[in-house]
Chains A and B, each alone.
Chain A
Amino acid sequence: MKSFLVAALASSILFDGLAGADEGLATDLFADAPPIRIESVRARYTHYDQTGLGYQSQAGPTMGPGLENATVEQAQLEVVAKQGKLTHRLWVPLDVITAASPDAIDGDFRIGVDTVSQASRVNEAGSIELQTTYQADSRTAAFVRAGFHIEEMFRSWVVGAGFSRSFADDNAVFAASVNQVYDWFDTFLIDGERVGHGDRSTTNANIGLTQLLSPTTIAHVNYGVTLQLGELSNTYNSVPLVTGVRGAELLPHLRQRHALVARLAQWLPWNGAIHLFYRFYADDWGVLAHTVETELYQRLAPTVYVRLNYRVHVQRAVDFYTTLAPDDGSFRTGDSDLSAFVAQTVGAKLSIDFPSRGRLRDAHFDVAAERYFRSNGLRASIASCAVGFRF
């Protein structure tokens, strides 16, 4: 309840600021106060099961890689409501993680630590986010959002704003957004001792353009830049040192990240569609990555379709990735996520819509399964299903 109030308050403050700049807009928004009408409700449940080895984990030999085994149960609820020219989106994801948690080093650190495996503890994480979109006219929309995230040793606040405007009889849509995230968390020594608090700031800006290329083709490009400041490690990752012991991961306190995405959707004459996705990524830690994904849709009936998807991701390691670091205080990480690897994902999804009568416009059900595997040994199986209703 407290987190909901925080999100609602932040959203209200932001929106008040926007409306305050234009008295006419404020009158337009709040004078008549149209009633809120629930438009849709959707719930999704996802299960992740991960295995692998990484040098940041202490769940293994002192100088070798440790286990990265983890399971995650994730539930999401999304409610969309209309209120005149306003559309409110309330979104609540909850994660229950049986690994990858500092819970495992939160006991008696003198008897040994296990930061990312054993699954002997459970870490719960939850968020609440409210986004309000104002449809100024048929071509222009603006939104503000605010959210709060909580884990046992971690708090995070996010605010954001953006707008979109269509041109050329809706053939092109330009969109821009900015986001600010502030994270506040406990910091640890790698033996599990809590040593205070750390924080990080993440500032993000995006611009995008969606363009109709033909009666059967849509293209989209988006560029995003992100600047991160502060403690960028989770502080309990470790690195094997040449001295025969483990030391703490040491990361720069500044990271500048750039990503460019291009998408293409092509309708196929046999009631299908193909989506192509490419992302180029570069940051000042030395990571350079290319991601290609394709999704093939096929309608089996007017309300039923299947989707097959394949994704490949190739990335270069950060400049300071190592599996055996000198003990000289220089930047170092053994995190397998920051190493060089090739990752592939294959998956399938079945989606069914059930048209209804009366107040319920339709009901939706989908189920999906994916397998993720990396060249450095990480494997994950993902199963997900969703139900939704439109009113």
Chain B
Amino acid sequence: MRLPVRLPVRLLIGLLLFGSGCAIVPQNRRMHLADPIMSFEEDPTETHRKQKFYTSREAAAGGDGAVAGGGCACQ
């Protein structure tokens, strides 16, 4: 059994470096960012229905802040 974690670690470091180099967006220029359609999690109940469906049917889960596995009899 092996665990290929080098790639995601490098990706994470790269993304963090990428993000840290961004220009500041002032408060008065965030009108579009405040639109609910820009939100990553617009409705927790919809997020749950998706997570439950995919977690119980695919071996690959997690990474989105939620527990990957456990909590139900569906593995």
Contact = CB atoms under 8 A, between A and B. Distances in A.
Contact of A172 (B4, B19, B38, B73): B19
B63 A315 contact: no
A287 B35 contact: no
Contact of A153 (B29, B31, B54, B73): B73
B45 A218 contact: no
B65 A149 contact: no
18 contacts: A48-B53, A182-B70, A201-B70, A202-B68, A212-B25, A216-B33, A221-B19, A223-B63, A224-B66, A226-B62, A226-B69, A258-B63, A262-B11, A265-B40, A279-B64, A313-B54, A343-B58, A366-B43
Contacts of A384: 46, 49
Contacts of B33: 212, 215-216, 218, 267
A100 B12 contact: no
Contacts of A224: 62-66, 68
A169 B28 CA distance: 12
Interface of A: 42-44, 46, 48, 74, 76, 78, 89, 91, 93, 100, 102, 125, 127, 149, 151, 153-154, 156, 158, 160, 168-172, 175, 177, 179, 181-183, 185, 200-202, 204, 206, 208-216, 218-224, 226, 228, 232-234, 252, 255-263, 265, 267, 272-273, 275, 279-289, 291, 297, 299, 305, 307, 313, 315, 318-319, 335, 337-338, 343, 366, 368, 372, 378, 380, 382, 384, 386, 388
Interface residues of B, number: 59
A232 B45 CA distance: 27
Contacts of A48: 53
Contact of A282 (B4, B26, B30, B37): B4
A100 B74 CA distance: 8
B60 A315 contact: yes
B63 A259 contact: yes
B12 A221 contact: yes
Nearest 9 A/B pairs, CB to CB: A259-B63, A202-B70, A289-B60, A181-B70, A281-B60, A211-B19, A260-B8, A259-B62, A267-B32
Interface string B46-64: 1011001110111111111
Contacts of B68: 202, 204, 224, 226, 257, 259
Given A224-B63, A258-B3, A291-B60, A151 B72 contact: yes
B31 to A, nearest CB: 8
B45 A282 contact: no
A390 to B, nearest CB: 12
A358 B73 CA distance: 45
Nearest to B33: A218
Contacts of B46: 44, 366, 368, 384, 386
Contacts of B26: 169
A139 to B, nearest CB: 13
A286 B19 contact: no
Contact of B8 (A76, A125, A228, A280): A280
Contact of A259 (B27, B29, B60): B60
Interface in B1-36: 1-5, 7-8, 11-12, 15-16, 18-20, 22-27, 29-33, 35
Contacts of A338: 59
A365 to B, nearest CB: 12
Nearest to A347: B50
Given A168-B24, A289-B60, 4 more contacts: A182-B70, A204-B62, A220-B40, A261-B63
